[in-house]
Homo-oligomer: A and B are copies of this chain.
Amino acid sequence: MNWLDEVKWDADGLVPAIAQQVGSNDVLMFAYMNRDALARTAETGEAVYYSRSRGRLWHKGEESGHVQKVHELRLDCDGDVILMKVEQLGAGAGLEAIACHTGRHSCFFKRWNDGRWDVVEPVLKDPAGIYK
């Protein structure tokens, strides 16, 4: 059986994918993959997602240079979620590497605090300097 057939694709042919920083295990971002995106991710060793808004494959870093080098690819018990351990490349390194389009390390920079979402992570690089 082809490993791609073991993935339970949803009605739109997509699967949620979580990217986690190798080493710190910080969760960097969450996006979707279709069959082609997952196949290319495994083939090239770089994270390729499917952009629902743009309706096409999205090689992470294609504009920003913030490519994700895949160290490990996992599938969950139900076969319907992908988890990747990645090395976030581009500006910065490790905890200073930028995965988020806002110029932050992680997309998960809002923390719940007593009924408010507080921004708790710094902008490491101005997005105007990332997307030209």
**What residues make up the interface of A, taking CB atoms closer than 8 Å to B?**
3, 6, 16, 18, 20, 24-27, 29-30, 42, 72-78, 81, 83, 100-102, 104, 107-112, 115-117
Contacts and interface: CB of A to CB of B under 8 A. Distances in A.
11 contacts: A3-B116, A3-B117, A20-B27, A24-B25, A42-B115, A72-B111, A73-B111, A74-B111, A76-B109, A77-B102, A77-B109
List of 7 A-B pairs having minimum Cβ-Cβ separation, nearest first: A25-B25, A73-B112, A76-B107, A74-B108, A75-B110, A83-B108, A30-B81
Contacts of A18: 18, 27, 30
Number of copies: 2
A76 B121 CA distance: 11
Contacts of A73: 111-112
